[in-house]
Structure 1
Amino acid sequence: MKSPHISLKQLFAELTDYSWADSLQEHERDLQNESNATTMFEVMGDDIRDSLKNGGGKYEPSEYGLKTLPPAEIEPRRDFEQLALTLSEAMIERIWNGRSETFDSLYHKAKEQSEVDTVVAKPYLLSEAWADFRVYKSSWSHKVATQNTRYYKIMIEFFGDIDVTFVNRQMIKALLSRYQDFPRGNIKPYNKMSIKEIMAIDENEIADSDKIVTKSVKTFMGVFQGFFSTFLTKEKDIFLTAPTDNVIYEVKSPSYASFSDTQIKKLKNKAIKLDGWRQWTILLAIFTGARRGDIVGLTGDSLRLDDDTQRYYLWIESGKTDAATRPIPLHKDLIELGFVEFAQQCDSHLFPEIVSNPNRLTYHAQSLMEEQDIPASNDKGQRYTLHSFRHSFITKVQQCGVGTSLFQTVVGHQKTELGISKRYTHDFDVKSLLVVVDSIDDW
């Protein structure tokens, strides 16, 4: 048993004033409106889940305009975060459905969390929940069981074996978006690869003709609904509101959209306010055009100083082609923001938190896009994903008039414009490549 910290009552009082929520207009409550009034609370809930998933202590209530200060000690701080999560869910339900039964349940749950001594609960891991679900679904045929087991393996590879209560609708939408880029199971060489190996491949490196059909994504969504809604919510009472509720995922065009300058600036400014890998991976994606695998694989040795220019650059050690091994000069904004100092403090991987699970970066990027009200796709139906940073970088330097062979070197593409002269042309040095990154001066 443990006694509640005083901050819990203060937070409860601060987040249970529903006069604002009750005064909202109908269009501000519309579930189909991606910018409805629940946006901040959805983002806050996602931030809290991410913090709790990693041990707690990362959620800062002041970033969301809250006045209540969290406890300094880690255990009561986790209690604070759990309460904040319940209260954010209660606020979302109040906005969407008013004083519903679900809202009342959430409200009373939060009241108990803030006032009553509680027993520390053992987490209900995703693997444990799925094992129970399989018992519940013992009537599955062998074919259905095999197919759904594969979906489970994709799910646990993407999320990790986390407490199942941390899964939310943003995470489900992110996984469906990632799954849309999966290869069909009978295509070589993917038919001999593990889920982990397929997940490690950048989405754009899989040919559109090799990717799964729309029906597979819809089938995966059906498994989600059976697992989270029918079983965990209605049967096990793990969730008050299933994370699949109100999830509408439409399969988008296989092509990727480029961000506008305004969108890039919003994402950059948000990333600057973060710390560690959440900050630098996004800033690197913006200012280098590097692939996800390039960024995840960076080590302390990747940062180097060019003798001729005295400019720092990143050395990308290896890739699928010779062109993928290359230098990328650091943009001046990265240097001014302190990336060099950050990298120099790292002995091994710069971002060890995502080395074993690169999909955390994919999910992080999509969460930032949702938080900045960037839609799932542009007017042409092209998707906004982590890979959109690479598209945006290439589009921007082309608009600035940079020679094709120069920017192809920086992003790791095979050079296409040299023709017969290619055999007489050596790789470009860092000095020659500065024009590529320095051409971007208004982001």
Structure 2
Amino acid sequence: MHEEPEVLPLINDMLAQWQASWEDLSDKEVKGRIRYTDILVHLFGKQPVNITAKEADKLMKTVDAMPKSNINPYSKWTQTQRIDAALDGSIPKEDRVTSSKHALKVYQGFYKWLKREHIIDESPFNQMRYENKQGGKRGAFNIAQVQRILDFSVKCEDPAKKWVPLLMAYSGMRNGEIQRLTKSDVRCCQVTKVWYIRITDSKTIASSREVPIAQALLDLGFLSFINTLDEGRIFTVSDKWLTRYYSGVLKRVCDLPSVALRGGALSVYSFRHTVTSLIRSAGANIAMTSAIMGHSTEGGIQAHYTHTELFSLQELKDIVDAIPYRPKVSDNLQEVGS
């Protein structure tokens, strides 16, 4: 007697549950998501969530064929009329949307949520990529730009507004990694007596690592801040908080351009490019850079035989402490850690 295959929930039903979790989104963000989930519902709403890669490809081709909704006559059409026109290929190329970037991000976000909720094992959108207006290239902040961010952040009373940019500037941690940090992830090595942050539950094996806490952060009182917290997450902010905070506050207040001097879009991710460049300049080789940043080492023999966990935390801290910028504060705060 064979077992019946598991019947997964329908896309319509799971989209309704996902939408109920959007409480931290702005009205504009909600409308943007609905615009793209309407297309998913139109095509596959009554199907189980495990659509095939071929069906996902059909969905993205439909998005690419959609008309711009802000020009006539399409601005007067319903979304259903626009989708039907995209499906029959009747929209002239010059009237079609210029990018499917945001749609893909919405679909990837939905299927990432389904995976996190243990509804599916794999996403049909995993291998899909988009290129941004800068051709996919990210830029790095220069030292003066980071200095402005640090000088502003160190004066903020809100813990997230203060410590998140400071941590990123001295560690290059990813946004998601900082969000998942808990009080128990801040530790002291019993051998070297170096304070470090344990990063786990990251996107690859290489991403799991132990990052020394820069002396500049210790001098600012980072451990004292940690000691005031209850167990659990250090920063209770939403997934989109840092992106919105950067574009809505930091970029304006710190007078940051949209594009780096030598090209590449500037964003919160630019901290990773800056830190990587600076620690390499301070003498970190590829393997040491991987140990700090969570990058995979290069392929071949080096990747097979290099074990980044064998580097001394003190050795890595010396590299991190060589990062040249320092927040300007009126008082020289001293750490009272435990």
Q: TM-score, normalised by structure 1?
A: 0.46
Residues 253 and 301 of structure 1: CA distance in aligned 2, closer, same or farther (over 3 Å) = same
- Identify which of 277, 280, 283 aligns with 1:395: 277
Distance 2:318 2:114 in 1: 37
- CA displacement at 1:138 relative to structure 2: 8.9
Aligned partner of 2:208 in structure 1 is 325
- Cα drift, residue 382 of structure 1: 1.0
Q: Which of 323, 334, 339 in structure 1 is aligned with 2:222?
A: 339
Provide the residue aligned with 1:431 in structure 2: 314
Cα–Cα, structure 1 residues 146 and 382, in superposed 2: closer, same or farther, change >3 Å? farther
Give the conservation status (yes or no) of the 8 Å contact 1:332–1:438. Answer: yes
Structure 2: distance between partners of 1:414 and 1:376? 28
Residue 335 to residue 434, structure 1, CA distance change in 2 (3 Å) = same
The residue type paired with residue 178 of structure 2 is I
Question: Does the aligned pair in 1 maintain the 2:276–2:289 contact within 8 Å?
Answer: yes
Give the secondary-structure state (helix, strand or coil) at the position aligned to 1:281. helix
Are 1:405 and 1:417, in contact at CA under 8 Å, matched by a contact in 2?
no
Are residues 374 and 141 of structure 1, via their aligned partners in 2, closer, same or farther at CA, if it must alter by over 3 Å?
closer
Quick one: which of 345, 349, 360 aligns to 2:241?
Answer: 360
Counterpart Cα distance in 2 of 1:317 and 1:309: 21
Superposition map of 1:258-407 within 5 A: 258-275=140-157, 276-346=159-229, 347-352=231-236, 354=237, 357-366=238-247, 367-407=249-289
Match of 1:256 among 109, 134, 138: 138
The CA distance in 1 between the partners of 2:142 and 2:306, in whole Å, is 38
Q: 1 or 2, which has the higher helix percentage?
A: 1
Change (3 A) 1:380 1:345: same
Classify the secondary structure of the residue corresponding to 1:210.
coil
C-alpha distance in 2, partners of 1:323/1:362? 25
Whole-angstrom CA distance in 2 between matches of 1:321 and 1:410: 14
State the alpha-carbon separation in 1 of the partners of residues 320 and 161 from structure 2: 22
Question: Which residue of 2 is the match for residue 4 of structure 1?
Answer: none
Query: Any stretches of 5+ residues in structure 1 without a counterpart?
Result: 1-52, 55-124, 148-178, 199-205, 215-250
1:154 aligned residue: none
Q: Does the C-alpha gap of structure 1 residues 139 and 195 become closer, same or farther in structure 2, counting only changes over 3 Å?
A: farther
Give the alignment of 1:58-97 within 5 angstroms: none
Give the 3 Å change call, closer, same or farther, for CA 419–257 of structure 1 in structure 2. Answer: same
Q: Is the 8 A contact 2:172 2:293 kept in 1?
A: yes
Q: Post-superposition shift, 1:252?
A: 3.5
Check whether the contact 2:287–2:306 (CA below 8 A) recurs between aligned residues.
no
Distance change >3 Å, CA 373–CA 273, structure 1 → 2 = same
Q: SS at the partner of 1:304?
A: strand
SS of the aligned residue for 2:197 comes to: strand
**Partner Cα separation in structure 2 for residue 284 and residue 437 of structure 1:** 12
Check 1:192–1:284 CA distance in 2 against 1; reply closer, same or farther (3 A cut): closer
CA contact (8 A) 1:308 1:431 kept: no
SS at match of 2:181: coil
Residues 323-364 of structure 1 deviation map (CA, whole Å, 9 limit, x = unaligned): 111100000011111111112222111001x1xx22111111
- Alpha-carbon deviations, 1:297-342, whole Å to 9, x = none? 1110010001122121000022121111110000001111111111
Contact preservation (8 Å) 2:287, 2:308: no
Unaligned stretches of 5+ residues in structure 2: 1-22, 36-74, 86-99, 117-124, 327-338
1:140 maps to 2:78: yes
Partner Cα separation in structure 2 for residue 197 and residue 146 of structure 1: 30
Counterpart CA distance in 1 for 2:147 and 2:186 is 25
For residues 209 and 194 of structure 1, what CA distance do their matches in structure 2 show?
A: 13
Report whether the alignment pairs 1:193 with 2:128: no
1:107 alignment partner in structure 2 = none
Residue 263 of structure 1: SS of its match in structure 2?
Answer: helix
Aligned-pair Cα RMSD in Å: 3.8
Q: Which moved more, 1:421-430 or 1:275-284?
A: 421-430
CA distance in 2, matches of 1:418, 1:191: 33
| 1:410/1:433 contact within 8 Å kept | yes
Match of 1:211 among 126, 130, 136: 130
How many pairs does the alignment contain?
A: 235
Q: Which 10-residue stretch deviates more, 416-425 or 297-306?
A: 416-425
Secondary structure of the 1:259 match is coil
CA deviations on 1:269-311 (whole Å, 9 max, x unpaired) are: 0010112111100001100010111101111001000112212
Q: Check 1:146–1:322 CA distance in 2 against 1; reply closer, same or farther (3 A cut).
A: farther
Identity of aligned residues (%): 19
Structure with greater contact order relative to length (CA < 8 Å, sep ≥ 6): 2
For the residue of structure 2 that corresponds to 1:427, the secondary structure is helix
- For 1:211, the aligned partner's letter is Y
Deviations, residues 57-105 of structure 1 (Å, cap 9, x unaligned): xxxxxxxxxxxxxxxxxxxxxxxxxxxxxxxxxxxxxxxxxxxxxxxxx
1:184, 1:211 within 8 Å by CA — same for their partners in 2?
no
Q: Is residue 126 from structure 1 mapped to residue 27 from structure 2 by the alignment?
A: yes
Aligned in 2, Cα 1:146/1:296: closer, same or farther, shift over 3 Å? Answer: farther
Structure 1 residue identity aligned to 2:130: K
From the superposition, tell whether residues 308 and 126 of structure 1 become closer, same or farther in structure 2 (CA, over 3 Å): same
